[in-house]
Amino acid sequence: MIAAERETTVAINDADELVQIWSARQKDITAMRKKPEVFTEIRSTVYDGTECVSFTAPKDRFSVAQAAKTKMVLTDEQRDAMRTRGVALALQARSAYLD
């Protein structure tokens, strides 16, 4: 498949309780396979050397709006606080691992 053909299609309607998802994008396929508690793999085929997979997901666990990425805007103080918390958590985890 050429790049323009490797897509992910989502079908949601008001009658069904499941969202139907078809994908030929490896990045999306991998992400859905990592969440088997949400996405159920229905079938997998190979077309023109590209894996194509169908999934379903409960409608109440899927949101088109949440799929859109938002950029986090932080002040310098917020960024420093997050960095400090991250370092503290890493040191705590390292200490617990070494004990």
CA distance 97 to 99: 6
CA distance 40 to 32: 8
Domain, as residue range, for 48? 3-98
Predicted TM-score (pTM) above 0.75: no
How many structural domains does the chain have? 1
Backbone angles phi, psi at 28, to 5 degrees: -70, -40
Q: Determine the pLDDT at residue 41.
A: 98
Give me the percent of the chain exceeding a pLDDT of 70: 100
How high is the pLDDT of residue 83?
87
CB 28, CB 8: distance < 8 Å? yes
Rounded to an integer, the average pLDDT of 72-96 is 85
Evaluate whether 8 touches 38 at the Cβ level (below 8 Å): no
> How do residues 21-45 score in pLDDT, each as one tens digit?
999 999 999 999 999 999 999 999 9
- pLDDT of res. 77: 92
pLDDT digits (tens, 9 = 90+) for 41-83: 999 999 999 999 999 999 999 888 877 777 878 899 988 888 8
**Contact status, residue 12 vs residue 64, Cβ threshold 8 Å:** yes
Residue 14 binned pLDDT confidence (cut-offs 50, 70, 90): very high
